[in-house]
A and B are shown apart, each in its own frame.
Chain A
Amino acid sequence: MTNNIDLSVQIAPGLKLINPVMTASGTFGYGNEYCDLVDIQKLGAIICKGTTLEPRDGNAQPRIIEVTAGILNSVGLQNIGVEALVKEQAPVWAGWRVPVIVNIAGDTVEDYAKVASKLEGVKGISGIEVNISCPNVKCGGMQFGTDPAMAAEVTKAVKGATSLPVIVKLSPNVTDITVIAVAVEKAGADAISLINTLGGMAIDIDRREPMIGNIMGGLSGPAIRPVALYMVYRVAGCVSIPVIGCGGIDSGRHALEFIMAGARAVQVGTATFTDPQSALNIIEDISRFMAEQGISKLSGLCGAARK
C-alpha cells in the first residue's frame, strides 16, 4: 500500500475507520471465525451477525443456493442473542484494533431499543447497525424497513437507547428507497447502509418444490450490484448523513463505483465466500487506484461521478 494515501473515512460522529471497507453483516460471523484466514485488523470495520434479544435457531434447510451471478440465502437470523454476545464476543473485540459494529434486529420497536440498551457502555463495540431489512423472517425485519413511519420509529427508539453511532440498513424491497432514507435521517440516524438482499426464489422443477426451505430467500452477489449502485446513487442525492454502499461488491473497481456514486464507505459480503481475502484485496485495489490517479484523500472520490 502506498504510504501517502489516506483511506480513512468518518462514517458517523465518533466512528472513524482506517479505510472504507467493512465486512457485511451475516457474512463474517462475529469476526473470530475468519481469524485463521484473514488479517482482520486491516479491515475498516467488522459488522457482526444480526443480533436479537433472545438467541434464534433460524430457518429450515436448505438455507443457501447458488443462482446465476449470486446466491439466495435464508438463514433466518440464527444468532447467539445479545447477552451471549456481550459476555462472550465483546471481550474478544475489546482487544482488537478493528472496530466492531453490532447489527441488531427485533420483532418489535421495543426489542430493538432493548438490544441497543444492552450494548450501551460495553467495551469492544464501536457502533450499531439497525437491520430493518431482513427478508427472511416473518417478524423482526423488513416490515420496519418498508414503511417510512415504522422505520423512523425504530431509528428513534434505538437512538434513544444508545450513545453509540447508529447506522440504519435499508431494504431494497420498497417502492421508493429515498422516502425511507429521508425518514430515518430525520429520525436521527447517523448513517445509512444499503442495500440488504433482494427477495427472490428458485424452484427445483424435478422435485416440484422451492430450493430454499423458507420458500424465498435474499438475493446477493454480483447479480444485484447495478440495482444496489443505483439505489446508493439516489439515496446519496437526498440525505446529508454518510451513506455506506453494499451489494455485490467484489473488487476495488466495484467499490469505487459505489464511492463515486456517493457512498462514504462500502461493505463486502458475498464476495468473502468466494475469497475470504476479498475485502483486503479491495482495500489494496482502492489504494492502488488512488496512487495511479494521484489522489491522496479518498474523500476526493466520494460522489465524483454524481451529475
Chain B
Amino acid sequence: MKQAKGRVLYNKELLRFETAAYFLMHVQSPGLASDCKPGQFFMLQCSGNMVLRRPISIHAIKGPDIISLLIAVPLDGQLAYKKGARQLSELREGNDLDLIGPMGNGFNISSTSKNILIAAGGIGIAPLKFLAETALSSGKGVTLLIGARTKLGLYPSSLLPKGTHMVFATDDGSYGKRGPVSDLIPEYLAGADQVFACGPEAMYETMQGHMKTWPVEKPVQVSLEVRMGCGVGACYSCSIRTRHGIKRVCKDGPIFDINDIICQEVRI
C-alpha cells in the first residue's frame, strides 16, 4: 500500500441509466499496478473541499503503471456524500489524482480451481472484470453472469475479456434472461469450483437463501461495500458484525466468505 500522485489518462462516461452513470477511468503512476490483486481497492481523494476519500475497486490492470477504475456517479449528486463521485467524474485527461492503495484483502482464487463462476449485480461488475482476467490468464475457465435492472445498466460485453462465458440478465427482461442475476447461479453451478459475487446486499441475501438448496456446497466469496473513513483499519467506521466477530471491511475485507456475513449488518 502506498500513497501516489496519479495522472488521469482517460475518464469517460461508459453508460447511463435512471439513477447513475458509470465512468471508466484510467490512472497512471509509476508501479501503481504492481501489487494489485482482484478485489482490492484504492482510496481516491476528491477535489474541492471534500473531506473523505472514496473507496473504488480496481476494475482492471492496463499495464505495470496503469489501473482502470469503474466509478458509479449518482445523477442526483447534490448532497455532500454523493458529490465525491461526481467530482471524480469531472477529472479530465492530464489531471492529477491522489490515491492510496492497493487496500484490502482481495479475492482468493484457489490454485486447484479449474473453473470459476462469477456473478455481477449492477456496478458489482467493477472488481469482477479484473478477477475474470486474472483467472483466465492462469488458465481457468470463467463463467460470468452479469445482471442489471434494465439493459441500459448492462456492462458492454465487448469490454470483457475474450474467452469468458457470458450470460446476461435484467430485472425487466429488456435484455438476456428476466430476473435477478442471483437466480442464474444454480444453473451454472455444476462445473464451478469456486463462486465469486459482487452486487447489492439483497443479492447476497438471496444467494444465502438459495445456497441451502444447492446440491453441493461451493465456496462463495463476496465483496462488501460500506462507507469508509480511513481505509487502513484505523478508524473503525466500516466495522461490521460477522459470524466470526467484528470485522473491518477495509482491512479484513472487503472480500468475505458469504457464510460469514450477516446481511442486515451491511448497510450503506
Interface residues of A (CB under 8 A from B): 26-30, 33-34, 36-37, 49, 57-58, 60-71, 73, 75, 78-79, 211, 213, 221-222, 270, 272-277
> Nearest chain A CB to B180's CB is how many angstroms away?
21
What's the Cα separation between A277 and B5 when bound, in Å? Answer: 13
> Nearest chain A CB to B263's CB is how many angstroms away?
11
Residues of B within 8 A of A63 (CB): 227, 236-239
Find out whether the CB atom of A33 lies under 8 angstroms from the CB atom of B50: no
Find out whether the CB atom of B3 lies under 8 angstroms from the CB atom of A75: no
Find out whether the CB atom of A69 lies under 8 angstroms from the CB atom of B228: no
What's the Cα separation between A66 and B83 when bound, in Å? Answer: 9
Further 13 A-B residue pairs, CB within 8 A, beyond A27-B235, A62-B226, A64-B238: A29-B235, A37-B3, A60-B265, A60-B267, A61-B240, A64-B52, A66-B52, A67-B80, A75-B239, A78-B239, A273-B230, A274-B45, A274-B50
Find out whether the CB atom of B51 lies under 8 angstroms from the CB atom of A61: no
Find out whether the CB atom of B52 lies under 8 angstroms from the CB atom of A71: yes
Known contacts A49-B236, A222-B49, A272-B230: does B268 contact A62 (CB below 8 Å)?
Answer: yes
Find out whether the CB atom of A66 lies under 8 angstroms from the CB atom of B236: no
B228 is contacted by which of A49, A64, A79, A222 (Cβ under 8 Å)? A64
Q: Which residues in chain B, 74-130, are within 8 Å of chain A measured between CB atoms?
A: 80-81, 83-84, 98, 100
What's the Cα separation between A211 and B226 when bound, in Å? Answer: 12
Interface centre among A63, A67, A69 (most CB of B within 10 A): A63
What's the Cα separation between A29 and B229 when bound, in Å? Answer: 12
Q: Which residues in chain B, 228-268, are within 8 Å of chain A measured between CB atoms?
A: 228-230, 232-241, 246, 251, 265-268
> Can you sample 24 A-B contacts with CB below 8 Å?
A26-B236, A34-B234, A36-B2, A36-B232, A37-B100, A58-B239, A58-B246, A60-B265, A61-B238, A61-B239, A63-B227, A63-B237, A64-B228, A64-B238, A66-B81, A66-B83, A71-B51, A71-B52, A71-B229, A75-B239, A272-B230, A273-B52, A273-B53, A274-B50
Find out whether the CB atom of A273 lies under 8 angstroms from the CB atom of B227: no
Find out whether the CB atom of A61 lies under 8 angstroms from the CB atom of B266: yes
Residues of B within 8 A of A273 (CB): 51-53, 229-230, 235
> Nearest chain B CB to A277's CB is how many angstroms away?
7
Q: Which residue of A lies closest to B267 (CB)?
A: A61
> Nearest chain A CB to B189's CB is how many angstroms away?
30
Interface centre among A60, A64, A67, A222 (most CB of B within 10 A): A64
B227 is contacted by which of A30, A37, A62, A276 (Cβ under 8 Å)? A62
Find out whether the CB atom of A33 lies under 8 angstroms from the CB atom of B229: no
How many residue pairs between the two chains, A and B, have CB atoms under 8 Å in the bound complex?
118
Find out whether the CB atom of A222 lies under 8 angstroms from the CB atom of B232: no
Known contacts A34-B234, A71-B52, A75-B235: does B3 contact A213 (CB below 8 Å)?
Answer: no
Find out whether the CB atom of A61 lies under 8 angstroms from the CB atom of B268: yes
Q: Which residue of B lies closest to A28 (CB)?
A: B234
Residues of B within 8 A of A71 (CB): 51-52, 229
Residues of B within 8 A of A274 (CB): 45, 50-53
> Nearest chain B CB to A124's CB is how many angstroms away?
18
B229 is contacted by which of A73, A78, A211, A222 (Cβ under 8 Å)? A73
Known contacts A27-B234, A75-B239, A276-B3: does B267 contact A66 (CB below 8 Å)?
Answer: no
Residues of B within 8 A of A222 (CB): 49, 51
Residues of B within 8 A of A58 (CB): 236, 239, 246
B26-40 near A? 1/0 per residue, CB < 8 Å: 000000000000000
> Nearest chain A CB to B6's CB is how many angstroms away?
14
Find out whether the CB atom of B80 lies under 8 angstroms from the CB atom of A66: yes
Q: Which residue of B lies closest to A76 (CB)?
A: B236
Known contacts A66-B80, A67-B81: does B45 contact A275 (CB below 8 Å)?
Answer: yes
What's the Cα separation between A65 and B239 when bound, in Å? Answer: 14
Find out whether the CB atom of B268 lies under 8 angstroms from the CB atom of A37: no
